[in-house]
Amino acid sequence: MTFKEQIQQGIPSVLPQPKQYETSINHAPKRKEILTDEEKKLALQNALRYFEPKHHAELVPEFKNELETYGRIYMYRFRPDYEMKARPISEYPGKSEQAKAIMLMIQNNLDYAVAQHPHELITYGGNGAVFSNWAQYLLTMKYLSEMTEEQTLVMYSGHPMGLFPSHKEAPRVVVTNGMVIPNYSKPDDWERMNALGVSQYGQMTAGSYMYIGPQGIVHGTTITVLNGFRKIKKSPSGGLFVTSGLGGMSGAQPKAGTIAGCVTVCAEVNPKITKIRHEQGWIHEIIEDLNALVTRVKTALESKEVVSIAYLGNVVDVWEKFDQENLHIDLGSDQTSLHNPWAGGYYPTGFTFEESNEMMANNPEQFKVEVQKTLRRHAAAINKHTDKGTYFFDYGNAFLLEASRAGADVMNPNPTLGREFKYPSYVQDIMGPMCFDYGFGPFRWVCASGNPEDLAKTDKIACDVLEEMMKNSPIEIQQQMADNIQWIKGAQENKLVVGSQARILYADAEGRVKIAEAFNEAIANGEIGYVVLGRDHHDVSGTDSPYRETSNIYDGSRFTSDMAIHNVIGDSFRGATWVSIHNGGGVGWGEVINGGFGMVLDGSTEASKRLEMMLFWDVNNGISRRSWARNEGAVFAIKRAMENQPLLKVTLPNIVEEGLLDF
């Protein structure tokens, strides 16, 4: 069968032969056993409903074995034989070009070079899934190949509920992930529902088909590192940045440190993912010995070398060793998947990677004890460095939250609302006031042709637009404009592409609209092929996350999620090609609600109208909320937006006179 025929086939009527478990692939750890015997039968019933009854007897023992061995039913047998990667849009079968673009994005999320655990359909974050099993993938791709522009595909946590009649202006796909009743958002609730096959953790851009590999966060991390050094009034040259995590999003950190121009040490316990990042060029060197690491870092700092070093081991050992050696760390953070601390997101020190995985699966209570013990040591070591002048920030991975739950010394001795922890979230001190409040956030695009020449052309188009805008931009956003122009000019030489021909930069609503309009015009003129627009949910208005995206909201509303819900509703009727809303993300199940979109540009006048209407809302919804919280930058930004768009009328806050409430 050809690739197109395999897509159109969906779930095969004749069972394929069982697949051999490939040990060379980076696999998800075994999930803890959480189902009762009755629930295990229910999980099997749920899995078997994808298949004709004549196949059930053969599949029952196989699926039962997967559930017992891995804690999930992945249906490995049904994993396709074709190479999993984003193909040029022309290679996909279908009646809708928009649907073909979505197939491209789904396959990119599962590309072996992109996905963290590709055979388990997990893109990043340890549990950020595109689908829960391979039957869902096959059925979804079949539906997309059949879809017309008078239909919408409805996705329930990885399950394709079906194609429903709609209209041309409606989204082609509407995605929800993990949208459970609020009282059932504890970690074990996810474990149980995921094992039953009825809900999944979509992370942010995994389950919404908009992940573009580590590049997706390289830009934001670069901006964070640059502004971190600006905060301590030091040049990155000759400076040291220490962090951990080389998995999905976290793999961006060493590349960002290199672009910023410092020495980066990033610890990782998983040898497979460390090897992959080294082969991809995202890290320069791998060191396994702490003494050798100290010597190498000292040499690099003395010569002001720009180098990224992966330490294959636990980051706690690095913090403690550098303290013993009195090796000064300028910037420190952590980007392990602590939203998922009990299922592979964070590993205890004192055990090998294999020992930890065994404990996680077979003695989860002891694993939790060891993780929390390590978190206390981790925080204690960080505290020693910050006492010596290190600037440490929480990278929105729930490090401080989980450390506090473990009893670590991370609480602010003089807490205020929103500043309960000893250290700030990077959004509180850097990304929030410097970027999000002014409307600057991640703007992504993917060249659907798969042609690197198209990407180079879009880079130039975006750069030209930003340079022209900067001539008349207000002083308040000059730094943001300059950083992004520098970024896009260096994008090609920094070799950021992993998987699809994609790019990211930070732009405000005006910048996003103008860049998108320029792309659409270039498509109409035949200069480039179709372009898929999107963003990370980590943005101005896509996400309500009290310890990350909205951590610099101090009016008491940071635990509400009206903004994220309205974001997706508004994007839906303003022209998005697909929309998604998730419970969970980088900080954990039950800790965040986040929404995203995808939009296909085809060069039409209709696309031009949609992009202007939708992108304007997608940003200014969040600026409005931030201005109502009395954030100065957001008040400035929304007033400017109202001046430029007479139809925009936003309720502005009145500021209480200082001293009036002193009672």
Annotated binding-site residue numbers for NAD(+):
125-126, 203, 268, 395, 586
Measured CA to CA, the distance from residue 510 to residue 439 in angstroms comes to 9
Measured CA to CA, the distance from residue 318 to residue 500 in angstroms comes to 35
Contact at 8 Å (CB) between 612 and 641? no
Torsion of CA 457, 458, 460, 462, to 10 degrees: 170
Backbone angles phi, psi at 331, to 5 degrees: -120, 140
Contact at 8 Å (CB) between 224 and 236? no
Residue 40, token pair as written in the block: 């295990």
Alpha helices in 162-314 (DSSP H): 187-196, 215-231, 253-260, 271-279, 290-302
Measured CA to CA, the distance from residue 99 to residue 175 in angstroms comes to 14
Helix (H) or strand (E) holding 391: strand 391-392
Residue 135, token pair as written in the block: 């039957």
C-alpha distances out from residue 69 to 31, 128, 368, Å: 9, 20, 21
Q: Binding site, residues? A: 125-126, 203, 268, 395, 586
Residues in contact with 152: Cβ distance below 8 Å, sequence separation at least 6, in sequence order:
163, 164, 166, 170, 171, 172, 173, 174
Look up tokens 């994005």; give the residue.
105
Nearest residue to 133 (alpha-carbon basis) of 69, 205, 196, 68 = 196
3-state SS class at 170: coil
Residue 155, token pair as written in the block: 């996705």
C-alpha distances out from residue 462 to 211, 241, 467, 476, 499, Å: 20, 30, 9, 21, 21
Residues in contact with 267: Cβ distance below 8 Å, sequence separation at least 6, in sequence order:
243, 244, 245, 310, 311, 312, 313, 314, 315, 317, 318
Contact at 8 Å (CB) between 372 and 365? no
Nearest residue to 241 (alpha-carbon basis) of 172, 314, 171, 301 = 301
Contact at 8 Å (CB) between 35 and 47? no
Helix (H) or strand (E) holding 562: helix 562-574
Residues in contact with 636: Cβ distance below 8 Å, sequence separation at least 6, in sequence order:
438, 476
Residues in contact with 433: Cβ distance below 8 Å, sequence separation at least 6, in sequence order:
552, 631, 633
